[in-house]
Amino acid sequence: MLKLLKKIFFNDLQAKNSKNKENKKNPKPTYSHIEEEFSKCADITKKEYPQIHIQLMYFEYMIAKDMVEKVLFSKIDKLNEEEIESFFSHSQFKISSDGKEVVNALLAGNVIIFHQDQTYIFAAINLQTRAIQTAESETIITGSHDAFNEDINTNLSLVRRRVKSSKLKVLKYSIGKITKNTVYILYIEDLAKQDLVNELKNRMENIKIDAIYDVNMLVQLIEEYPTSPFPQIFTTERPDVMSSKLTEGKIIGLMSNSPYAFSAPATFFDFVHSPDDYNQRWLTGSLIRIFRLFAFFITVTLTALYVSITTFHYAMVPELLLPTLVKSRSNVPFPPIIEALIMEFTIELLREAGARLPTKVGQTIGIVGGIVIGSASVEAGITSNILIIFVAVSAISSFVIPSYVMSSSVRIIRFGFILMAGFLGNLGISIALGFLVLSLTSLTSLKTPYLWPISPTHPSNWLDTLIRAPLSTLNNESNISKKKKNSNKNKR
Amino acid sequence: MKEKLHPFQIAVLIYMIQSGITIFSLPRIAAGAFGTNGWIGVAIISIIPMINILLIALVFHYGKGRSIFEIFEDLIPKFLLRPFFLCLAFLWCILGILVGKNFGLLFKMLYFPELSPTVYLIFTLIFVYFLVSKGLYQIGKTTIIFFFMTIWSVSIMALYVAEFKLARLTPFIFKGEKELFTQGLEILNAFLGYEIIILIFPYILKSRSSIKAMFYGNLFTTFVIYVPICFIAFGVLSFEQLKNETFPVLTLFEYIKFPFIERIESLIFSLFSLKALITVVMFYWAGDQVFRYSIPQIKPKVSIIILIIISFGISYIPRFLLDVGNWLKLIGRVEAIIAMGLPIILLLIIGITTIKRKRNESKNGEVL
């Protein structure tokens, strides 16, 4: 009996407690509750119409003032008690009994209207966004110049304008416990592999983070190998690139307040291809693409090769060049490895300074760093002028890689190559190359091998990997379906 | 899904295991074994691995793609098989580490006197650990990239077209001092390694194309790499030079001069460390496979660590290049016997078990 009473009493109490908790967590959206929720928020605007018992709450700087003035305020001013009900029956006013929803709506830039027991949400959002501008970090010569901006709807429209298909599906997520960013996942239903879509969905749903501000942060939460120096998800600010990724059967993602979009799965070659390759004639495009791949190897190995040759393999220097090299090295008090590391470090500092400073000052930094420091350090005997050439060519080659994230990664691994060359000469460079390959072949992006289609090998897809074959061979209907078939079959 | 090897990967894998640093001394060995125009001898010797691969293909065909362990178990009890495979595991791992050590010692002798072969071996074993523990598919993927990174270097030999003199090939074939057996075996050693593919049956994607790929891999090694290089070496260097130079191919590379760089043979030799690496990795992979069969309780990553530690310890016994060379020669001969013997034994087992099964079936038929 006692047990039964206890059970009834405690169960009842428990139920009451949970209800209270729930209520506390999600209270009814009354004026006083919302006011309490936004206490100590000096930026909130409250407006009252005591004669008709209407109260408004909004953030003035987030609403479309003119429209709200015309459609809402001026009309409420003229309202009398009898007209209120019919006025709020218009479709612009959404009744809400969910406290959380009202709070979110207010934060999003809507006007909240309280009348007696009812709470209405009036859509008035007018967030100031940048106009559509040209891409800053991925400039191209030919082709479209528009870039994404911070408004997710604008970004979505930029993609939709290019891919006019009902097969383009959009999934919506809210990421970040505090920042509550909207993320749209886009894919073309018949082209994207459903397994991959599900995998990405799964990863998106499992993101547990308080705050996130950019797509470049988001991708770090969904990639498979966060410790690898190489990016595994491709990000860009170009809508044309993202649209082409969609037609390749990839999945893309847009995030509110971020001018970048991501695409997955990504392969290494996505990061070294540029939209310019497709806008130029195929021979030019192919040649530039091959140069770019060479640039990758140059940036990784050139300075290391200098260190290796000047430390261990002097025999590799041609007889005519040897006196110049010896003369240029004779004033330098450091071993080549230290000399190279100092110069590479300086170049990295210059690059970072150039990137952080305003354009005009940035250019000055380039001149001061490149010419003044370069020639002065040679004259001062800190470094040899041949090393300056090697380091400069190596740095320029790194800038040839269109993806900033990838070129940054490449610059980091270059230091590893220099160290290996300093310790083991040419053999060290080979070993470092081996580790580079091992690391690249081990990576996958959304379960797709990172070096696809080179390894695993699918020569039929090489036409758009190492070279850029004529568009007629790449971009006709049968090829797209073939590509889809191959990518679905082979991306394991 | 277990990832399987594409036929192209199999062909490349065979080429990469077969060709190693022996390529640099092959013209000398060919000259020693066959005398003048010894390059033809290389093509003749290549028939042996071809027959061997044919036997392996027959095992694959008649064994219906089953692993060699399953085929052995049809006739021989497991407790007898385990010690045999344990010995094979150590043999392959020692062979692997000696190939690595040999490369390290050679590099030290030729280009880098300060190099400690132990340092090189440690790097090699790190690769071995990562690649073997990730499985054959990962090895296959890495091999493809190493293939593309190294294969271009062979094309440099084309620069010798101008230096090539047909007169140096002489109309006399196989004249001069010859050591057909001993040196011939050394040529055969240059082809060895392909026998490991007997273990990859469960990892093959398309059976018919994969068998073809095995042949193509061997043909590539023979007719795109070994024979042309020997042919060029015989046509550029004199016969006496060929016999006296330790590494005639490196000597050839020494004469290549570009306006901005020369003596690139050290660079090419270093790059060949990647090829040697694949050979080492594959021997370890094979060793690991049979080791895990012998001791099934062992965890995959632990087994490769044990093999690495034991073989690394053993690698300290032969200290000098000559010792390592002698060990390699000896183990190479045992390996040649295994390469030939293993598929023959497997075919015999398949034959016996098939006959037995047929007899049982007919007996059962009579009883019924």
A222-280: pLDDT as tens digits: 999 999 999 999 999 999 999 999 999 999 999 999 999 999 999 999 999 888 888 88
Q: How many CB atoms lie within 10 A of CB A469?
A: 17
d(CA B206, CA A174): 45
Task: Look at residue B187 and tell me whether its pLDDT is greater than 50.
Answer: yes
Percentage of residues in chain B with pLDDT exceeding 70?
98
d(CA A438, CA B278): 12
Facing residue for A313 by CB, picked from B111, B120, B142: B111
Facing residue for A426 by CB, picked from B120, B267, B277: B267
Facing residue for A438 by CB, picked from B107, B120, B130: B130
pLDDT at residue B12 in the model: 94
pLDDT at residue A488 in the model: 47
Task: Look at residue A23 and tell me whether its pLDDT is greater than 60.
Answer: no
Which two tokens mark B142? 């890495």
- E strand segments, A259-358: 261-264
pLDDT at residue A397 in the model: 92
Q: Residue B1: which pLDDT band, with cuts at 50, 70 and 90? A: very low
Task: Look at residue B157 and tell me whether its pLDDT is greater than 90.
Answer: no
The answer to whether A427 contacts B146, with C-beta atoms less than 8 Å apart, is no
Residue B24: which of B192, B328, B284, B266 has the closest Cα?
B266
Which residue does chain A place closest to B1, by CA atoms?
Answer: A492
pLDDT at residue A489 in the model: 47
Coil, helix or strand for A122? strand
Task: Look at residue A210 and tell me whether its pLDDT is greater than 80.
Answer: yes
- CB A441 within 8 Å of CB A455: yes
A63-109: pLDDT as tens digits: 888 888 888 888 888 888 888 888 888 888 888 888 888 988 898 88
Task: Look at residue A491 and tell me whether its pLDDT is greater than 60.
Answer: no
pLDDT at residue B165 in the model: 83
- Residue of higher predicted confidence among A129 and A401: A401
Sequence-separated (6 or more) residues with CB below 8 Å from residue A13: none
B272 pairs with which residues across the strands? none
Burial of A354 (0-12, 13-18, 19+ CB in 10 A): middle
d(CA A272, CA A290): 10
Task: Look at residue A478 and tell me whether its pLDDT is greater than 50.
Answer: no
When pLDDT is averaged across residues B161-189 and rounded to a whole number, the result is: 79
pLDDT at residue B92 in the model: 95
- CB A237 within 8 Å of CB A135: yes
**Which of B101, B266, B269, B274 has the highest number of chain A CBs within 10 A, making it the mutation to test binding with A?**
B266
**Which of A457, A460, A488 has the highest number of chain B CBs within 10 A, making it the mutation to test binding with B?**
A457
Q: pTM (2 decimals)?
A: 0.86
Q: Residue A6: which pLDDT band, with cuts at 50, 70 and 90? A: low
Q: Residue B315: which pLDDT band, with cuts at 50, 70 and 90? A: very high
pLDDT at residue B366 in the model: 59
Percentage of residues in chain B with pLDDT exceeding 90?
53
CA distance A315 to chain B (A): 6
Residue B66: which of B234, B199, B177, B232 has the closest Cα?
B199
pLDDT at residue A234 in the model: 94
Residue B347: which of B2, B55, B41 has the closest Cα?
B55
CA distance A459 to chain B (A): 10
Q: Identify the residue whose tokens are 């098939």.
A: B354
d(CA A156, CA B1): 36
Facing residue for B257 by CB, picked from A318, A455, A457: A318
Pairing mode, strands A448-449 and A261-264: unpaired
B101-118: pLDDT as tens digits: 999 999 999 888 888 889
Give B-chain residues touching A455 at CB under 8 angstroms. 141-142, 144-145
Q: Residue A476: which pLDDT band, with cuts at 50, 70 and 90? A: low
When pLDDT is averaged across residues B88-109 and rounded to a whole number, the result is: 93
d(CA A302, CA A295): 10
Give B-chain residues touching A492 at CB under 8 angstroms. 1, 3
Q: Residue A458: which pLDDT band, with cuts at 50, 70 and 90? A: confident
DSSP string, A239-266: HHHHHHHHHTT-EEEEETT-S-EEEES-
- CB B131 within 8 Å of CB B13: no
When pLDDT is averaged across residues B113-142 and rounded to a whole number, the result is: 93
Task: Look at residue B48 and tell me whether its pLDDT is greater than 50.
Answer: yes
When pLDDT is averaged across residues B204-219 and rounded to a whole number, the result is: 87
Cβ contacts below 8 Å, chain A against chain B, sum to 100
pLDDT at residue B352 in the model: 93
Task: Look at residue A440 and tell me whether its pLDDT is greater than 50.
Answer: yes
Sequence letter at residue A222: I
The answer to whether A437 contacts B131, with C-beta atoms less than 8 Å apart, is no
pLDDT at residue A490 in the model: 45
DSSP string, A36-85: HHTTT-TTEEEEEEGGGTEEEEEEGGGB-HHHHIIIIIHHHHH--GGGHH
ipTM reported for the complex, 2 dp: 0.91
Q: List residues in chain B touching A: CB distance below 8 A.
A: 1, 3, 6, 8-9, 107, 111-112, 115, 119-120, 123, 127, 130-131, 134, 138, 140-142, 144-146, 148-149, 257-264, 266-267, 269-271, 273-274, 277
Q: How many CB atoms lie within 10 A of CB A454?
A: 23
The answer to whether B142 contacts A449, with C-beta atoms less than 8 Å apart, is no
A388-408: pLDDT as tens digits: 999 999 999 998 998 888 998
Which residue does chain B place closest to A491, by CA atoms?
Answer: B3
Q: Residue B143: which pLDDT band, with cuts at 50, 70 and 90? A: very high
- CB B1 within 8 Å of CB B201: no
pLDDT at residue A127 in the model: 67
B57-81: pLDDT as tens digits: 999 989 888 899 999 998 899 999 9
Please, what is the average pLDDT of chain A?
85
A320-343: pLDDT as tens digits: 888 888 888 888 888 999 999 999
Q: Residue A142: which pLDDT band, with cuts at 50, 70 and 90? A: confident
Task: Look at residue A469 and tell me whether its pLDDT is greater than 70.
Answer: yes
When pLDDT is averaged across residues B173-188 and rounded to a whole number, the result is: 78
Q: Residue B242: which pLDDT band, with cuts at 50, 70 and 90? A: confident
Task: Look at residue B122 and tell me whether its pLDDT is greater than 90.
Answer: yes
- CB A38 within 8 Å of CB A102: no
Q: Which of A171-180, A363-372, B282-291 has the highest average model confidence (pLDDT)?
A: B282-291
Which two tokens mark B79? 């407790």
When pLDDT is averaged across residues B87-104 and rounded to a whole number, the result is: 94
B259-277: pLDDT as tens digits: 888 888 888 889 999 999 9
